[in-house]
Chain A
Amino acid sequence: MGALGLIIRREYKARVSNRSFIIMTFLSPLIVVGMIMLITYLTQLNQAGKQTIVVVDESGMFYKEFENTENIDYLDLSPAGLEVAKAEVEDNSYFGLLYIPKNIKKNTSGVVFFGNEAPGISTLESIEEQIQTKITNEKLLDRGVDLDLIDESKTLVSINIEDFQGERTSKISSWIKAGFGGGAGYLLMMFIIIYGNMVMRSVIEEKTNRIIEVIISSVKPFKLMMGKIMGTTLAGITQFMIWLIIGGGLLTFLTLYLGLDATAPSTPVGNMATTDLDKIELIVLDILNLPLLKLAGFFLIYFIGGYFLYSSIYAAIGAAVDSETDTQQFMLPIIMPLMLAIYVGFFAVIENPDGSVATLFSMIPLTSPIVMLMRIPFGVVWWQLALSVSILVASFIFTVWFGSKIYRVGILMYGKKPTYKEILKWIKY
């Protein structure tokens, strides 16, 4: 095994056998799943109590029109009159009272909901929709329109967008694409911050342990740096995999056995129309229509390029300082472009994937991994991809070279907190 292999293996082993790493690996998915479950449970608890809504319908149009749902019972007290019904609601502490006036067909503004608490938006919308539909249908019938005919003629149209290279898109799929790209970009940012920091800490550890001089009398600093970055990356991938497996497994298990449906928080609307089913079919089709292979390939390229670009900066920072507390002043140049990339991604790219801002930031190497990952699902012209990847590769090589220069000098410098000016001087050593 070459020296690089040895270093990668040691680094991997050291990371993976670290106590806090193990704890984080197994605790994080438990915490996240626990949080999801808690939120789901609390949401359901919120809806759990059955509410009774008293209906006083003076128009007589809505008799038996309101159907009881999972959470709401409708109680028709129209014959008793508004005042008696109001007293009834207060005596039995019902949730509220829905009053529909006599001339509802002519004046729709008279509907009132009486209650101590305002009902949830979904409840209100459901009631409004039922009244609207009823009145609309009544009016149509009055004019002699056949309702069945209308139902039969209803069609769902979704515009398919196609560019000149034959890439298809649609309105819904725009959101799916944004989701894919955003997810990938966000994942990369998390990965860079978590594991870049880990690389940095590991470099500082070697420096404060003073073992560094022994090691670099055996291997070139560049090899040591690359070995550390790769070893930490592998440890990071391992951790991510375990998170996925444990988290996914736990979610599935809890959903299946405890009946907590965490994946799709229940919508009180209830009855799913055929149009919704059509939509789901479209979404599935859209996902399948995405250039998944191309996405995966570019995800890998930008992930590796972007991650290594940043971690060599992290490694150089680790080499330049004596302790973690000294790293603060150097963190800004790392966090800034990352945040910028995420903001540009979520605002500029989703608004206009091919706009000048999105295009510009998908070329700048420090932001391109994230921004371009978000743009790719929408389709990017090949020359832009080629240019962006070339810039990324070139700056990746430059940063690793630059980082290893700082690393080489920095690891042997002790005592004083270096300034940017001083670090630049090291390049000439």
Chain B
Amino acid sequence: MPCGLALGNLLSMTDLLVADHIHKKYGDYTALNDLSIAVPKGSIFGLLGPNGAGKTTLIRIINQITMPDTGTVFLDGEPLDQKHIINIGYMPEERGLYKSMKVGEQVIYLARLKGLTKAEAKERSTYWFERLGMMSWWNKKIQELSKGQAQKVQFIVTVLHKPKLLIFDEPFSGFDPINASLIKDEILKLRDDGATILFSTHRMESVEQMCDHIALMHKSNKILDGRLVDIKRAYRTNTFEIGLETADDSLSSLQLLQTDVFNSIPSTWELHEAHFKTINENDLKIEVKIPEDLKPNELLNFLASKGTINHFVEVVPTVNDIFIQTINAN
């Protein structure tokens, strides 16, 4: 599972960012309703929810772009203040740079606005430009770059001042697969170096692979949050996906095996057909849900008596499944 925790994270479980009972109204419209989240130090935190759930409003409050009506945001235990600006790096969903300004000049300007000195800004931007092989863009204008190239510049602007907290709003939209994986690796490296990362996205699957913690938002409310593994555990159904080989990979023996399994399976187990790919043509593919007090080994024992097992995977609910389930439950 890629959602494992870094070792340093286990040692200090304090929270870098805490939003405490945030309430925000725009006129009659409630954008955030009594929302609280806690982002542990060194974690990758996914803020998930459909469009209009209030993710961007929350992020803008964390960035001190808008002020909450009530509630407080704490960074490293202190109420959010002007001085924390240098500790936060933010890449908005709508990417943007000055089109007619030179790339290098622009990166240095934006870094200095964050509070870096000119020398620091120069040094660090040179480091990043060399690292990502962008040195030749230094004197170009943004309008001369491709969209993907401009996105890379934007990424550098976000991380240049070595912020403790990195906020990415829809981080991978607009990147081609190669650059998306490059940026993903860079983000993971930043996390390993001690940064805490907050993702906001409505594409649940893209961030599911990276994050340790998630919070689900829906219609201005938080409906679920916690460590991803805990959430998945809570939503597990003890369902397994199984592939059984037949003796000669023929259709007739598949039918024989199927009847055998269907007839001999205990009545408390739920059995469905399943769809996945194996290397044989006529494997029996099924999904079995066993009672909660039963161990998977019992299922394995039963299956082993029927044929050769070539596929055995627990069906873990995706964040998307959990999300839909939670909304329906509410």
Using a CB–CB cutoff of 8 Å, the interface residues on chain A facing chain B are 1, 3, 6-7, 10, 14, 18, 206, 209-220, 412, 414, 425, 428-429
Distance of B311 from chain A, by nearest CB (Å): 47
Q: Are A425 and B92 in contact (CB under 8 A)?
A: no
Q: A6-B112, A218-B113, A414-B94 are in contact. List 11 more A-B contacts (CB 8 A).
A: A209-B99, A211-B96, A211-B97, A212-B96, A213-B65, A213-B96, A214-B92, A217-B85, A219-B113, A412-B65, A429-B26
Q: Which residues of chain A are near B138, meaning CB under 8 Å? A: none
- Which of B65, B88, B96 contacts A210 (CB under 8 A)? B96
Say yes or no for B190: interface residue by CB 8 A criterion: no
Task: Provide the residues of chain B in CB contact with A216, threshold 8 Å.
Answer: 65
- Give bound CA distance, A228 to B180, whole Å: 35
Query: Would you call A214 and B65 a contact (CB within 8 A)?
Result: no
Of the A-B pairs whose beta carbons lie under 8 Å apart in the complex, a sample of 13, sorted by A's number, is A14-B100, A210-B92, A210-B95, A211-B97, A214-B110, A215-B110, A216-B65, A218-B110, A219-B113, A412-B66, A414-B94, A425-B27, A429-B26
The reply to whether A214 and B27 contact each other, CB–CB distance below 8 Å, is no
* Known A214-B92, A217-B63, A218-B85; contact A209-B113, beta-carbon cutoff 8 A: no
Q: Is the pair B101, A214 in contact by a Cβ cutoff of 8 Å? A: no
* B98 & A217 in contact (Cβ 8 Å cutoff): no
Task: Identify the closest chain B residue to A411 (Cβ).
Answer: B65
Select which of B26, B60, B82, B96 is within 8 A of A214 by beta carbon.
B96
Smallest Cβ distance from A140 to chain B, in angstroms?
78
Q: Which of A216, A414, A428 gathers the greatest number of chain B CB atoms within 10 Å?
A: A216
B90 at the interface (CB under 8 A from A): yes
In the assembled complex, the Cα of A210 lies from the Cα of B90 at a distance in Å of: 13
The interface residues of chain A lying within 8 Å CB-to-CB of B222 are: none
Complex contact B26–A217 (CB within 8 A): no
A interface footprint on B80-124 (CB within 8 Å = 1, 0 otherwise): 001001001010101111111100000001101110000000000
Chain A's closest residue to B88 (CB) is: A217
Q: Tell me whether B96 and A217 are in contact (CB under 8 A).
A: no
Give the nearest-CB partner of B82 in chain A. Answer: A220
* CB of B17 within 8 Å of the partner chain: no
Contact A214 B157, beta carbon cutoff 8 Å? yes
Residues of chain B within 8 A of A6, CB atoms compared: 109, 112-113
> When chains A and B are docked, how far (Å) is the Cα of A18 from the Cα of B101?
10
Interface size on B, residues (CB 8 A): 27
Contact with A217, one of B65, B101, B154 (Cβ below 8 angstroms): B65
Q: How far is the CB of B265 from chain A (nearest CB, A)?
A: 56
What residues on A are CB-neighbors of B114 within 8 Å?
Answer: 218
Contacts of A3 in B (CB 8 A): 113
User: A406 to chain B: closest CB distance in Å?
Assistant: 14
Q: List CB contacts (< 8 Å) of B271-299 with chain A.
A: none
Whether, in the assembled complex, B64 has its beta carbon less than 8 Å from a beta carbon of chain A, the answer is yes
Question: With A218-B110, A219-B113 known to touch, is A213 a contact of B98 (CB < 8 Å)?
Answer: no
Would A10 and B97 be within 8 Å (CB), given that A214-B90, A218-B114 are in contact? no
- Contact status B98-A209, CB under 8 Å: yes
Q: Nearest residue in A to B25 (C-beta to C-beta)?
A: A429
CB distance from B51 to the nearest CB of A (A): 13
Q: How far is the CA of A217 from the CA of B85 in the complex (A)?
A: 7
Closest 9 CB pairs of A and B: A210-B96, A211-B96, A218-B113, A217-B63, A213-B92, A210-B94, A217-B90, A209-B96, A218-B114
Contact with A along B25-61 (1 / 0, CB 8 A): 0110000000000000000000000000000000010
Q: If the complex has contacts A214-B157, A217-B65, A218-B113, are A412 and B96 also in contact, measured as CB distance less than 8 A?
A: no
* Bound CA span A209–B63, Å: 19
Closest to A209 in B: B96
Contact with A along B130-172 (1 / 0, CB 8 A): 0000000000000000000000001001000000000000000
Q: How far apart sit A6 and B90, CA to CA, in the bound complex (Å)?
A: 20
Complex Cα distance A219/B95, Å?
18
Q: Inside 8 A of A210's CB, which chain B residues have their CB?
A: 92, 94-96
List of B residues within 8 angstroms of A213 by Cβ: 60, 65, 90, 92, 94, 96
CB-defined contacts of B109 to chain A, threshold 8 Å: 6, 10
Nearest neighbor of B109 in chain A, beta-carbon distance: A10
User: Knowing A217-B64, A428-B27 touch, does A211 contact B113 (C-beta < 8 A)?
Assistant: no
Alpha-carbon gap, A413 to B88, bound state (A)? 23
How far, in angstroms, from A206 to B110 measured CA to CA in the complex?
A: 14
Interchain CA distance A18-B66 in the complex, whole Å: 32
Q: A404 to B190, alpha carbons, bound, how many Å? A: 36
What's the Cα separation between A313 and B42 when bound, in Å? Answer: 45
A6–B117 CA distance with the chains assembled, in angstroms = 11
